[in-house]
Amino acid sequence: MDNLNIMIVGVGGQGTLLASRVLGNVALKQSLDVKVSEVHGMSQRGGSVVTYVKMGKKVYSPLIEKGEADVILAFEILEALRWVEYLKKGGTIVVNEQRIDPMPVIIGKAKYPENIIAKLKQQIQNIISVNALKIAKECGNIKALNIVLLGLLAKSTDIAKDIWLEAIREVVPAKILDVNLKAFDAGYLSASDLEK
Amino acid sequence: MRKLMLGNEAVARGAYEAGVTVATAYPGTPSTEITENIAEYDDIYCEWSPNEKVALEVAAGSSIAGARSICSMKHVGLNVAADPLFTTSYTGVNGGLVIMVADDPGMHSSQNEQDSRFYARSAKVPMLEPADSQECKDFVEQGFAISERFDTPVIVRLSTRIAHSQSIVELGEKQAYQMKDYYKDPAKYVMMPAMARKRHIEVEKRLAALREFSDTGNLNRIEWGSREAGIIAGGIAYQYAREAFGETASYLKIGMVYPLPEKMIQQFAKEVQTLYVIEELEPFMEDQIKKMGIQVRGKDLLPVMGELSAQIIKEKILSIKTEIQPITNDPVPVRPPVMCPGCPHRGAFYVLKKLKMNVSGDIGCYTLGALAPMESIDVVICMGASVGAAHGMAKARGKEFAQKTVAVIGDSTFIHSGITGLIDIVYNKGISTVIILDNSITGMTGHQHHPATGYTIKGEPTRQLNLIQLVKAVGVDRVRVTDPFDIKEFEKAVKEETEAEEPSVIIVQRPCALLKNVIFEGPQAINPQKCKQCKMCLRIGCPAIVDLGDTIEINEALCVGCKLCTKLCSADAIVKR
Ligand SMILES: Cc1ncc(C[n+]2csc(CCOP(=O)(O)OP(=O)(O)O)c2C)c(N)n1
């Protein structure tokens, strides 16, 4: 397989790190080389966060740069817009329909752009938008929205579902595993709904 | 076994496999997870020290006592630990001593972008620089071997993208390391002039031997490709260079960045057409190579600021530009970090802003009080500086200014290096007010214990440092404890203590909202019938409260229910959802 570059973007505190760790383990299980570049520290306090997951025969730089991402998993609408330039031509973007206002918007110094998803849909062919927060809530914990999105992503790849489940079991803490397995299935199923 | 590991986690594994039995650190992004991971190994004694200087002194002592020891910090931490560093270079080691230092090019989480490679050069100790997690593990193990073989501390330098990237590591077995015997050797370990002069001679001899080792050991290697371009690079810059040039260049991959392998560089330079040095931050290698009389290109093309990337290298050296069409012309608002919903610091800064105080700030989550809408911190320099700087401001401008000025410092930071500043205020007849924001944890770096939390790094209960007794003991008579969410009481305390013409300390206590034992009642909502749109609730800069133009709403997914906003709402419009 060619290199696969996946970016996970969102707002600090949304659980992007855990999602990237699951993805990293999915790659490992397929005997691919893999690098996962994470963010820790300041931006985890509600800032814009991005993690890169690169897999393939051999991975050098851990960074994905503009125009190089095969997939962008956006946990928040504005973050989708911020990072969409990183998407490759023909790449796929999955957007969680959640809005979190950044501080400049809250204090009236900037405007949250309108109709972002519609604008993205005009220009990008492979775009999936979903209310993952709602699905996670139905599963019993809104924090599981990260795994809902992974479920969605999983459906769009040709990687076997079992590999994903195994990776989740290894990475997710035991206490919250059940909710997360449920969330993964819900995300996976919602992807089939979207296909219809 | 193959495992996906963060660079920092791999360092911990390397320490374990090398038979380390003592590990010390003060947290600091991007180095923190090294010691958090070491703490998972039962047979390694591990501690959060109060600061980096103490951490290195503890590790130096344990090395002299015969144990393999590791000490970890972020780049600016090495400034704090520089004093013991320069002299342990003279004493050398008994059990191996490895110092981990993590730089932060691009300043993802730091107050400056200093390049710690210069420390190796000025302290005359070797420095290794891994380029992925496998090398993180391997270089730490090699670092211990070098440390013992050459009788020197060894610095292993990481950068954010190495420390915080996961890549595959082949795990090894734990070595059967026999701790060295303890022996008295004042000529080696007692550094006073007569002995130190002799030790300096040894340091120079050691450096010569290390130069040769750099050329003959396996830490530096040549990878031949096309000889049109030759690239000298180490650490993450090597990965970016490989990505940008692929097989169109040859590489001298540097694993030992100080001292450099001079013979190898000379040979490599001869065999390639154009020689480039690709390094982040300062021209550390480039300057040395130029001094050898070799023509090389580097910082004439590449920036000395920020991180590099494959695209920057392609653009600046290969003149290949990636053009991307923007999707919309809408300006995309920035998203700076913010205090979390429920953060105790929010109450404190709301009051300081209201009182229009001059605020000498410090480093931690509360530094976010400098950003809008709080915008109430005037100065931030380095950890602990708030206290001394407030005193200096007061001495410069006199009593009235002092009475409008406070220092604001976190609990972990106060213990790290604020205490001495407070002693200075008392000793030199200052009248400043110091506000300690005690959120019961080291917040910014992700929840590490410290002396005032009452727990060790391994979660064991220990004697808890009592901040009240401490500040009284250094001579502060006016000490008060308040809750930052009791806005009225805190406001009163600030007014009275700044008014008083003597040193005072206000300890503001409320635990970090992200701590597991902190439980709030859950999301609140605004009753639109009652809301008068006075927008008072927006003044606290809570990311969960948003102004939608016609209405003000609380984001259910973000609100934790700390209810600070309810204290500002005169219409009682905010209620449990
Ligand atoms: C010399 C030095 N060491 C470490 C750091 C990393 N660092 C930044 S803030 C901080 C501690 C913050 O803890 P605290 O003072 O309790 O404030 P909080 O973040 O909990 O509000 C640390 C360790 C640093 N900037 N400088």
* Total beta-carbon pairs less than 8 A apart between chain A and chain B: 186
Contact between B509 and B438 under an 8 Å Cβ cutoff? The reply is yes
Does ligand 1 have an atom closer than 6 angstroms to the CB of B442? yes
B542-576: pLDDT as tens digits: 999 999 888 999 999 999 999 999 999 999 999 99
Mean pLDDT (whole number) for B169-192:
97
Answer yes or no: is the C-beta of B366 below 6 A from any ligand 1 atom. Answer: yes
* pTM of the predicted model over 0.90: yes
CATH code for the part of the protein at B2-216 = 3.40.50.970
Give me the pLDDT at residue A163, please: 96
User: Which amino acid appears at position B201 of this protein?
Assistant: I
**pLDDT, tens only, B13-28:** 999 999 999 999 999 9
CATH of domain B345-509: 3.40.50.970
Q: Is 60 exceeded by the pLDDT of residue B107?
A: yes
Which residues of chain A are within 8 Å of residue B373 when distances are taken between CB atoms?
103, 106-107
- For the record, the structure tokens of B320 come out as 């290949």
Per-residue pLDDT at A1: 56
| Contacts with A106 (C-beta within 8 Å, 6 or more apart), sequence order | B373, B538, B541, B543, B545, B546, B547
Total residue count of chain A as it appears in this document: 196
CATH of domain B221-316: 3.40.50.920
| Number of neighbours of residue A85 by Cβ within 10 angstroms | 16
Give the number of C-alpha atoms closer than 13 A to the C-alpha of residue B562, restricted to the C-beta side.
30
Domain boundaries, chain A: 4-134+163-169
Name B406's bridge partners.
Answer: B359, B433
pLDDT (tens digit per residue) in B218-258:
999 999 999 999 999 999 999 999 999 999 999 999 999 99
Q: Which residues in A50-81 are b (16+ Cβ under 10 Å) and which e?
A: bbbbbbeeebbbbbbbebbbbbbbbbbbbbbb
Residue A195 has pLDDT above 70, yes or no: no
Which of A66, A104, A116 faces B334 most closely, judged by CB atoms? Answer: A104
Q: How does pLDDT run across A50-79, given as a tens digit for each residue? A: 999 999 999 999 999 999 999 999 999 999
8 Å CB contact of A101 and B543: yes
User: Tokens for A135?
Assistant: 């699905």
Give the C-alpha separation, B235 to B265, whole Å: 17
Q: What is the pLDDT of residue A191?
A: 78
Distances (CA, A) of B120 to A81, A135, B200: 43, 53, 15
Categorize the per-residue pLDDT at A44 as very low, low, confident or very high, splitting at 50, 70 and 90: confident
Residues A73 and A18: beta-carbon distance below 8 Å: no
pLDDT of residue B183: 97
- Residue A56 contacts B where some CB pair is shorter than 8 Å: no
User: Is residue B293 within 8 angstroms of chain A, CB to CB?
Assistant: no
Report how far residue B69's alpha carbon sits from residue B98's, in angstroms, rounded to the nearest whole number. Answer: 6
- Average pLDDT of the residues in A90-100: 96
What is chain A's mean pLDDT, rounded? 93
Q: Is a pLDDT exceeding 90 seen at residue B491?
A: yes
Q: With beta carbons less than 8 A apart as the criterion, state whether B310 and A65 touch.
A: yes
Q: β-strand B524-526 against B574-576: which pairing, if any?
A: antiparallel
Partner-chain contact A81 B324, CB within 8 Å: no
Residue in A with minimal Cα distance to B513: A45
Tokens of B291: 């001094």
Domains B2-216 and B221-316 share a fold: yes
Q: How far is CA A177 from CA A8, A147, A170, B570, in A?
A: 21, 10, 10, 43
In this predicted structure, the answer to whether residue B29 has a pLDDT above a threshold of 70 is yes
CB B169 within 8 A of CB B5: yes
pLDDT attached to residue B231: 98
Q: Does B444 touch chain A (CB under 8 A)?
A: yes
Compute the nearest-CA separation of B330 from chain A (Å). Answer: 6
> Which CATH code of 3.90.1150.10, 3.40.570.10, 3.30.70.20, 3.40.50.1370 fits the domain covering B524-576?
3.30.70.20
The answer to whether residues B391 and B430 touch, using CB atoms and an 8 Å cutoff, is yes
Lowest-confidence range among A116-130, A180-194, B501-515?
A180-194
CB contact under 8 A, A67 and B324: yes
Residues in chain B: 577
Q: Is residue B541 predicted with pLDDT exceeding 50?
A: yes
Closest by Cα among A43, A44, A45, A25 to A35: A25
* Phi then psi dihedrals of residue B71, to 5 deg: -135, 130
Contact A109 B327 (CB under 8 A): no
What are the φ/ψ torsions at residue B242 (nearest 5 degrees)?
-60, -45
Model pLDDT, residue A40:
82
The answer, yes or no, to whether residue B282 has pLDDT greater than 90, is yes
Query: Exposure of B481 by Cβ count < 10 A (0-12 exposed, 13-18 middle, 19+ buried)?
Result: middle
A182 CA → ligand 1 middle, Å: 38
Q: Report which secondary-structure segment, H or E, holds A18.
A: helix A16-29
pLDDT tens readout for residues B293-345 = 999 999 999 999 999 999 999 999 999 998 887 878 889 999 999 999 999 99
Q: Give per-residue pLDDT as tens, A113-166.
A: 999 999 999 999 999 999 999 999 999 999 999 999 999 999 988 899 999 999
Report the pLDDT averaged over residues B272-277.
98
Query: What ipTM was predicted for this assembly?
Result: 0.96
Q: Which of B91, B94, B90, B45 is nearest to B71 (CA)?
A: B45
Dihedral angle, C-alpha B19, B25, B28, B32, nearest 10 °: 30
Nearest-CA residue for atom 1 of ligand 1: B77
In B, which residues are within 8 Å of A105 by CB distance?
A: 333, 546
A50 close contact with B: CB closer than 8 A: no
Peptide bond connecting B543 to the previous residue in cis, omega within 30 degrees of 0: no
Q: How far apart are the C-alpha atoms of B360 and B388, rounded to whole Å?
A: 9
- pLDDT attached to residue A196: 46
Predicted pLDDT at B70: 99
Average pLDDT, chain B: 97
List the domain boundaries for chain B. Answer: 2-216, 221-316, 345-509, 524-576
Quick one: tokens of B71? 């000490």
Category of B549 on φ-ψ map: left (φ > 0), alpha (ψ -120 to 50) or beta: left
Q: Is B227 on the interface with A (CB under 8 A)?
A: no
Q: What is the CATH number of domain A4-134+163-169?
A: 3.40.920.10
Mean pLDDT of B372-389: 97
What is the position in ligand 1's atom list of the atom closest to the CA of B412? 16
CB proximity under 8 Å: A 157-196 to B: none
**Contact assessment for residue B372 and residue B335, using Cβ atoms and an 8 Å cutoff:** no
A89 touches chain B (CB under 8 A): no
pLDDT of B285: 98
Mean pLDDT of B351-355: 97
